[in-house]
Amino acid sequence: MISKASAMYARISPRKARVVADLVRGKDAGEALQVLEYLRKSAAPIVKKVIESAIANARQLSPDADVDSLFVSRITVDKGPNRNMRRWRPRAMGRATKIVKGVSHIQIELDER
């Protein structure tokens, strides 16, 4: 049984979120939640919420399924559109540079062992 969850337009840069995603990829769902509970990275609460959502989706999909046997089979972090979060910083000699605010799409799949 594969359970899916996603967080679209998460307000974190993909580079920061991929560090946390690589940390929990392949781990049991309970172990991944424990790791994310005490991890001091800004993407940890976002990824933790998505894993909890995938666990809830698994329970909803089949109530008799064993939730303890779920593991993170696939987790991807993609760059989202940056249309609304464009900012400009004034620079020397009347110029301006763009400030890129990161937006991520995080998808997680849980599978049974």
How far apart, in whole angstroms, are the C-alpha atoms of residue 26 and residue 9?
Answer: 24
Backbone φ, ψ for residue 77 (5° rounding) = -125, 115
For 3-112, the fitting CATH number among 3.40.630.10, 3.30.70.120, 3.40.50.1370, 3.90.470.10 is 3.90.470.10
Which of helix, strand or coil describes residue 97? Answer: strand
The per-residue pLDDT string of the chain (113 residues; one tens digit each, 9 = 90 and over) reads: 789 999 999 999 999 999 999 999 999 999 999 999 999 999 999 999 999 999 999 999 888 878 889 999 999 999 999 888 788 999 999 999 998 889 999 999 999 98
Give whole-number Cα distances, 21 to 18, 76, 82, 90, 101, in Å.
5, 7, 21, 35, 20
How far apart, in whole angstroms, are the C-alpha atoms of residue 67 and residue 14?
Answer: 29
* Domain extents in the chain: 3-112
